[in-house]
C-alpha cells in the first residue's frame, strides 16, 4: 500500500490541496486534488478531481461552511478523513516567508510555527493564510508530520551586495534585507530545465513568474542569483493589486496626508497594481477584453515595467540566453508575453506570433538570439518532493 503525501497551498480566498502517492521507486504520483474557492464569500465552492480530470466532488457550500481558511481546512480535512484508509505520512505547506532564520524546508514544530507567525507583518496577505491550515491539521491529526516549504528559501545564498539595502547595518541585523519570493515556482522551473532543457539550464536564464503576484528571477546553473522581490512581496514587477517597485517617498507622503498603517497597507496590497491603474479589475483576462483606455494603460504599464525588471536582472547574468514565462499570466496571456518581448527586442528576444498565440513551449523564432519558453509551474510538486525527503530523513521513533 503506497504512502501518501498531502500538499496544502492556502491563499487569501482559496485553499488548494493535492494528494500524491509514493510508488515503489519512491517517485511521486499525483492522485487527486481540489480546492475550496470563494472563502469568506456568499457562495463558496468545493471541488475535487482526479489525475484524469474526473470530478470526485463538486458542490456549492453555505457561507457558514467556509467563512475563513480555518473553516475551509476543517471541511477539507473532514472530507479526507472520510475518504482515506490511512493517514498521509506528511503534509507539506507553502509558507511565503521564512525570514533570515530558515533557508530550507523544515518540520513544523510549535517553535517553528511561533517564529513563522512572527513574520506575518512582512507578508500580511499571505503568512497568516498559509499558517491557518497548519493549525487545523494539528487539531485533527495531532501526531502528523507537517512541513513548512518556504518561498524565500530558493533565494538564499545571494551575494551580500544583492541581499542588502543601502541602509544602516543595524537594520540588516534586525532582518531588513532582500529575501525574494516565489522560490518554490523557480525551484520547479530550474528542475524542469535541467531535465528537459539541459543546455539552457546551464546558461543565463530569466524566469518571469507572472500571475496575480508577479516577480522575476535570474538563474545561473540552476541557482537563483538575483530576483525582483525584496523585503516583502510588494517590490519589483507590477501585480494584480500590488504596485511593484515604488518610491518610498510616496509612502512618506501618504503618512503626511494622514493615512495610518492599516490604510497604507490596504492600498499597497489590495488596491494598487492592475486594479489600481485600470479602476476595473486585477484580472489580466478582464482587462484584455475591455476597450476602456484605462485597461490599455494598465496592460501597457505592466508589460513595460515587467520588461524593465527583466532587463535589469541581466546585469547579474551579464547577458541572456533563455527567457521563461510561467504562472497565470505568463502561461495564458499571449498578448502580455508579446508586449513584454517587444520591449526586450534589443536584447535579442524575438517571438514568433503564431507559436505565441498557440501557447507552444518554444515561442521564439528560429532566428531569435534568446530562446523563449512557456513552462507551466508546479509548486505543489516541489512541496511534495521536499516533504517526502524530510519525512524519510527523520529517524523512526
Place of cell 543565463: 204
Q: Which residues in the chain are classed under CATH 3.30.420.40? A: 3-157, 199-374
- The answer to whether the beta carbons of residues 214 and 275 sit under 8 Å apart is no
pLDDT in tens, 199-216: 999 999 999 999 989 999
> Strands, DSSP E only, in the chain?
3-10, 14-22, 28-37, 45-50, 55-60, 90-95, 106-107, 146-150, 204-210, 214-220, 223-227, 322-326, 371-374
Share of the chain above pLDDT 70, in %: 98
Count the neighbouring beta carbons within 10 Å of the beta carbon of residue 388.
21
Provide φ and ψ at 119, rounded to 5°.
Answer: -90, 0
Is 151 one of the catalytic residues? yes
Query: What class does CATH assign to 3-157?
Result: alpha beta
Q: What mean pLDDT is predicted for residues 257-268?
A: 95
| Buried/exposed code over 290-311 (b: 16+ C-beta within 10 A; e: otherwise) | beeeebeebbebbbebbbbbbb
- Can you give the pLDDT at residue 100? 87
Q: What's 38's DSSP letter?
A: S
Provide φ and ψ at 175, rounded to 5°.
Answer: 100, 5
Q: CATH homologous superfamily for 199-374?
A: ATPase, nucleotide binding domain (3.30.420.40)
pLDDT in tens, 345-381: 999 999 999 999 999 999 999 999 999 999 999 999 9
Reference 12, options 72, 88, 75, 83; nearest CA is: 72
For residue 396, pLDDT over 60 is answered with: no
pLDDT in tens, 11-64: 766 788 999 999 888 899 999 999 888 887 778 889 999 999 899 989 888 888
3-class SS string, 163-201: HCCCCCHHHHHCCCCCCCCCHHHHHHHHHHHHHHCHHHH
**Residue 367: exposed, middle, or buried by beta-carbon count in 10 A (0-12, 13-18, 19+)?**
exposed
- Can you give the pLDDT at residue 394? 66
pLDDT in tens, 81-127: 888 888 899 999 999 989 888 889 999 999 999 999 998 888 887 88
Q: What is the mean pLDDT of the chain?
A: 92
The helix/strand/coil state of 362 is strand
Q: What mean pLDDT is predicted for residues 218-234?
A: 94
- Can you give the pLDDT at residue 38? 81
For residue 397, pLDDT over 60 is answered with: no
- Catalytic position from the list 68, 151, 247, 262: 151
pLDDT in tens, 308-350: 999 999 999 999 999 999 999 999 999 999 999 999 999 999 9
Share of the chain above pLDDT 90, in %: 72
Place of cell 456568499: 42
Contacts of 125 (CB under 8 A, 6+ apart): 12, 233, 269, 270
- Can you give the pLDDT at residue 129? 84
- Can you give the pLDDT at residue 128? 86
Count the neighbouring beta carbons within 10 Å of the beta carbon of residue 251.
14
Reference 268, options 295, 308, 216, 233; nearest CA is: 233
Reference 94, options 376, 387, 331; nearest CA is: 387
Amino acid at each position: 500500500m503506497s504512502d501518501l503525501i498531502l500538499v496544502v497551498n492556502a491563499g487569501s480566498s482559496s485553499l488548494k490541496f493535492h494528494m500524491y502517492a509514493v510508488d515503489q521507486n519512491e517517485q511521486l504520483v499525483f492522485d487527486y486534488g481540489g480546492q475550496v474557492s470563494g472563502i469568506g464569500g456568499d457562495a463558496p465552492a468545493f471541488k475535487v478531481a482526479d489525475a484524469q480530470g474526473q470530478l470526485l466532488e463538486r458542490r456549492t457550500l453555505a457561507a457558514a461552511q467556509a467563512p475563513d481558511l480555518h473553516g475551509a481546512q476543517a471541511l477539507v480535512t473532514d472530507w479526507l478523513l472520510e475518504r482515506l484508509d490511512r493517514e498521509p505520512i506528511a503534509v507539506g505547506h507553502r509558507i511565503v516567508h521564512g525570514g533570515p532564520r530558515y533557508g530550507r524546508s523544515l518540520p513544523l514544530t510549535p517553535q517553528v510555527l511561533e517564529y513563522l507567525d512572527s513574520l506575518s507583518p512582512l507578508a500580511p496577505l499571505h503568512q497568516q493564510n498559509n499558517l491557518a491550515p497548519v493549525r487545523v491539521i494539528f487539531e485533527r491529526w495531532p501526531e502528523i508530520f507537517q512541513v513548512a516549504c518556504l518561498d524565500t528559501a530558493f533565494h538564499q545564498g545571494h551575494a551580500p551586495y544583492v541581499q542588502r539595502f543601502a541602509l544602516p547595518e543595524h537594520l540588516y541585523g534586525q532582518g531588513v534585507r532582500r529575501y525574494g519570493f516565489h522560490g518554490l515556482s523557480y525551484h520547479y522551473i530550474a528542475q524542469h530545465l535541467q531535465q528537459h532543457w539541459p543546455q539552457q539550464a546551464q546558461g543565463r536564464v530569466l524566469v518571469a513568474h507572472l500571475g496575480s503576484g508577479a516577480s522575476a528571477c535570474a538563474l545561473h546553473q540552476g541557482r537563483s542569483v538575483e530576483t525582483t522581490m525584496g523585503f516583502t512581496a510588494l517590490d519589483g514587477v507590477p501585480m494584480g493589486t500590488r504596485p511593484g517597485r515604488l518610491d518610498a517617498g510616496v509612502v512618506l507622503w501618504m503618512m503626511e496626508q494622514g493615512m495610518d498603517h492599516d490604510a497604507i497597507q490596504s492600498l499597497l496590497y489590495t488596491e494598487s497594481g492592475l486594479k489600481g491603474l485600470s479602476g476595473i479589475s486585477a484580472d489580466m483576462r478582464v482587462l484584455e477584453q475591455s476597450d476602456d483606455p484605462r485597461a490599455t494603460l494598465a496592460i501597457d504599464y505592466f508589460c513595460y515595467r515587467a520588461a524593465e525588471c527583466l532587463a535589469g536582472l541581466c546585469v547579474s547574468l551579464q547577458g541572456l540566453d533563455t527567457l521563461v514565462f510561467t504562472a497565470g499570466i505568463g502561461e495564458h496571456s499571449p498578448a502580455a508575453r508579446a508586449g513584454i518581448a517587444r520591449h526586450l527586442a534589443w536584447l535579442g528576444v524575438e517571438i514568433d506570433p503564431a507559436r505565441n498565440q498557440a501557447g507552444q513551449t518554444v515561442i521564439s523564432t528560429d532566428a531569435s538570439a534568446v530562446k523563449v519558453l512557456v513552462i507551466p509551474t508546479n509548486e505543489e510538486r516541489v512541496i511534495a518532493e521536499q516533504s517526502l525527503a524530510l519525512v524519510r530523513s527523520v529517524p523512526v521513533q
